[in-house]
Structures are given as structure tokens and as C-alpha cells.
Chains A and B, each alone.
Chain A
């Protein structure tokens, strides 16, 4: 009886170990990864063509200025449809999404963002063709934003 009990116990432990291994293989995607997936769907973004101006070192994470320029003729058949900005390490990754039109004339937007700590900031631009462009920059943050 004692032998059978030990065997059952071992079996239980064994299953536990398997379950842990499966969890490790498929970690829950972070909010940042979820936000990225939601914007991109199945598209693979192409690098380049985005001029992403943001300070390398931000002394105050509460207001980090940025400007995004994309080389585009901005005609009705060939324009940037939307620009998304995501922070990889903020508690809430999405910063802003912008919709541009041919009337915008130039694929440019500038604003200010909060950065909780040093991290990568990612820009995704969707073109009228459905293609995505991606740009990213690392910003060192001296004093984090986003509040207590």
C-alpha cells in the first residue's frame, strides 16, 4: 500500500512538471505584444522610411516630445493611412494613433508622450496599400513619467 501511494504521488508531481514546461513554452503575451498584434494583424512590418525624432535621453518622462515623418506623396492612391505609437515598457503601451488623409498633404505628426522608464518606443505606419512600416528608438529616461 505504501509503495502504491508513493507511486501516485510521483505521478502527480510528474504531471505538475509537464504543465510548468508547457506554460514556459507559451508565455502570455505582454500588453505591448498584444497591442502590436492588434494593429498589425498578420502583416509583417518593413523597416525604414520613417524618420522618428525623439530625444535619446529624456530628463522628464512626463513630457517627451517626438516627431514622425514618413516619405510619402500623400495622394489618394498612395498615402500613409495611419501612424501608431507604442511604448514597450509603459504600464499601458498604446500612446496614440493618428489617421492621415490626402488632405493632410505631408505624412508628419508631432506630439508629446509619457515614458515610465528607459525603453524602446515603436512607430508603425500603415500605407494605403495595406503595407506597414516600422521604426523604433531607445529612449533613456532619467525621471519616469506616468505618475505614482
Chain B
């Protein structure tokens, strides 16, 4: 699954700071409610779950439904304990997983 996720983090991060994390993944988020030209229902295909962890600890997670727009965009915060690794995962209907890892550069 090449869904090209995008992640935006602040340039300079200090320990203890609360930062904003923006994520976006390109995906049609097919609702399962639409019909094609011949009247057949187009099956549902959405990103149904998202999870962000920091050194294995959960920061934020989401369960998404067809009411979430195409190219799901999520903004949330994190209190930075110090340097570490952020991991982001997106799960598509059918089980395909997209993972992105980012090292958090924290200036002391």
C-alpha cells in the first residue's frame, strides 16, 4: 500500500513542551454508500484506524468511520518527555498497514 503519509512536526522541540503533530494520508475513504453507473454498491474501503506511539507508548489513536473525509487529516498534541522515536500506523479495511517512523530531535 503506497499511500504516501505526510507528517509535520515543529522544527525545534524542547523537553517538556507540548507540540502539535499533523498527519495526512492520501486515501479515497470509499464510504460503501455510493453506487456505480450500473447501480451496484461500491464496497467500503476506508482507513479505519490510526495510532501514534512514542517509544512504544500510546500517544493518540483514532477509529475512523465513513463520515471522515477523504485523505484523512489528523491534528493532535504530545507532551514531549525527551528524545525518542515516534511511530505512526494507518490500517486500511482488509488489514493493510502503513507505518511511518520519525526520530524526535529534542534540543536540551
A residues sitting closer than 8 Å to B (CB atoms) are 62-64, 67, 74, 85, 87, 90-106, 108-114, 145-148
B65→A94 contact, CB < 8 A: yes
The proximity string for B residues 42-59 relative to A, scoring 1 for CB distances below 8 Å and 0 otherwise, is 000000000000100111
Chain B nearest CB, measured from A147 CB (Å): 4
In the complex, which residues of chain B have a beta carbon less than 8 angstroms from the beta carbon of A74? Answer: 79
The residue on B at minimum CB distance from A147 is B34
B residues sitting closer than 8 Å to A (CB atoms) are 18, 31, 33-35, 54, 57-70, 72-79, 81
Interface of B is mostly: strand
B60→A99 contact, CB < 8 A: yes
Chain B nearest CB, measured from A33 CB (Å): 16
Q: A113 touches which one: B60, B61, B67 (CB < 8 A)? A: B67
What is the bound-complex CA distance between A95 and B70, given in angstroms? Answer: 12
A112→B58 contact, CB < 8 A: no
Q: A114 touches which one: B59, B66, B76, B77 (CB < 8 A)? A: B66
In the complex, which residues of chain A have a beta carbon less than 8 angstroms from the beta carbon of B63? Answer: 96-98
What is the total of A-B residue contacts with beta carbons within 8 Å?
A: 106
Top-8 shortest CB links A-B: A105-B79, A95-B67, A110-B75, A112-B69, A105-B18, A106-B77, A147-B34, A94-B65
What is the bound-complex CA distance between A94 and B73, given in angstroms? Answer: 17
In the complex, which residues of chain A have a beta carbon less than 8 angstroms from the beta carbon of B60? Answer: 98-101, 104, 109
Chain B nearest CB, measured from A148 CB (Å): 5
What is the bound-complex CA distance between A100 and B74, given in angstroms? Answer: 13
The residue on A at minimum CB distance from B67 is A95
Q: A96-B65, A96-B68, A111-B68 are in contact. Are A104 and B78 (CB under 8 A)?
A: yes
Q: A92-B33, A96-B63, A98-B61 are in contact. Are A63 and B69 (CB under 8 A)?
A: yes
B68→A95 contact, CB < 8 A: yes
What is the bound-complex CA distance between A62 and B31, given in angstroms? Answer: 12
Chain A nearest CB, measured from B13 CB (Å): 12
The residue on B at minimum CB distance from A93 is B67
In the complex, which residues of chain A have a beta carbon less than 8 angstroms from the beta carbon of B76? Answer: 98, 100, 104, 108-110
Chain A nearest CB, measured from B17 CB (Å): 9
What is the bound-complex CA distance between A106 and B70, given in angstroms? Answer: 26
What is the bound-complex CA distance between A96 and B50, given in angstroms? Answer: 11
